[in-house]
Structure 1
Amino acid sequence: MGDLAGRLAVITGAASGIGLATAIALAEQGGNVILVDRDGPGTEAALAKLPGAGHRAVVLDVTDENGWVDLAGQIERSSGSLDILVNNAGFGTFRSIADTTLDHWRAIIAVNLDSVFLGCRALLPMLANSPVGGAIVNMSSIRGIAGGANAASYCAAKGGVRLFTKALALECAALGNRVRANSIHPGHIETPLTAAAHGDPAVHARLLADVPMGRIGTAEDIAQAIVFLASDRSSYMTGAELVVDGGSTAQ
Structure 2
Amino acid sequence: MRLDGRRALLTGASRGIGAAIAAALAGAGARVAVNAAEAQAEETRALAATLPGAVAVPLDLGSTGSGARLAHLAEQALGGPTDILVLCAAIQVEEEWHAAEAADMDLQWSINLREALTLTQAIVPGMAERRWGRVLGVSSVQALRPHPRMMVYAALKAALANALRNLAKQVAAQGVTANLISPGAIDTPRNAATLADPAMRARVLGRIPAGRLGTAEDCAGAALFLCSDAAAYVTGADIPVDGGMAL
Please give the TM-score of this superposition, normalised by the length of structure 2: 0.92
Q: Which residue of 2 aligns with 1:148?
A: 147
Q: Provide the secondary structure at the position in 2 that maps to 1:180.
A: strand
Q: Provide the secondary structure at the position in 1 that maps to 2:233.
A: coil
Q: Which residue of 2 aligns with 1:88?
A: 88
Which ranges of structure 1 fall in alignment gaps of 5 or more residues? none
Correspondence 1:22 to 2:21:
yes
Q: Distance in 2 between matches of 1:44 and 1:96?
A: 36
Query: Is the Cα contact below 8 Å between 2:61 and 2:115 reproduced in 1?
Result: yes
Q: Which residue of 2 aligns with 1:34?
A: 33
Q: Distance in 1 between matches of 2:136 and 2:129?
A: 17
Correspondence 1:126 to 2:126:
yes
Structure 1 position 22, deviation (Å): 0.7
Q: Paired residue for 2:222, among 222, 225, 236?
A: 225
Structure 1 position 80, deviation (Å): 4.2
Q: Deviations over 1:78-136 (max 9, x none)?
A: 644321000001122432212211222222222211232122112113322446x1000
Structure 1 position 150, deviation (Å): 1.9
Q: Distance in 2 between matches of 1:80 and 1:45?
A: 23
Q: Which residue of 1 aligns with 2:178?
A: 181
Q: Which deviates further from its counterpart, 184-193 or 141-150?
A: 141-150
Q: Distance in 1 between matches of 2:162 and 2:227?
A: 19
Structure 1 position 7, deviation (Å): 0.9
Q: Which residue of 2 aligns with 1:10?
A: 9
Q: Distance in 1 between matches of 2:144 and 2:233?
A: 22
Which ranges of structure 2 fall in alignment gaps of 5 or more residues? none
Q: Which deviates further from its counterpart, 231-240 or 64-73?
A: 64-73
Q: Provide the secondary structure at the position in 2 that maps to 1:213.
A: coil
Correspondence 1:193 to 2:195:
no
Q: Which residue of 2 aligns with 1:116?
A: 116
Q: Distance in 2 between matches of 1:181 and 1:3?
A: 18
Identity of matched residues, %: 36
| Structural RMSD (CA) | 1.8
Structure with more helix by fraction: 2
Q: Provide the secondary structure at the position in 2 that maps to 1:136.
A: strand
Query: Is the Cα contact below 8 Å between 1:161 and 1:183 reproduced in 2?
Result: no
Query: Is the Cα contact below 8 Å between 2:139 and 2:180 reproduced in 1?
Result: yes
Q: Which deviates further from its counterpart, 150-159 or 88-97?
A: 88-97
Structure 1 position 75, deviation (Å): 4.9
Q: Provide the secondary structure at the position in 2 that maps to 1:193.
A: helix
Q: Which deviates further from its counterpart, 236-245 or 74-83?
A: 74-83
Q: Distance in 2 between matches of 1:76 and 1:221?
A: 29
CA 1:130 to 1:218, structure 2 compared with 1: closer, same or farther past 3 Å? farther
Letter in 2 for 1:217: G
Q: Which deviates further from its counterpart, 222-231 or 114-123?
A: 114-123
Q: Deviations over 1:159-216 (max 9, x none)?
A: 101101111111213xx33211011110001111111111111221111111111111
Q: Distance in 2 between matches of 1:88 and 1:76?
A: 18
Count of equivalent residues: 244
Letter in 1 for 2:32: V
Q: Distance in 2 between matches of 1:205 and 1:130?
A: 49
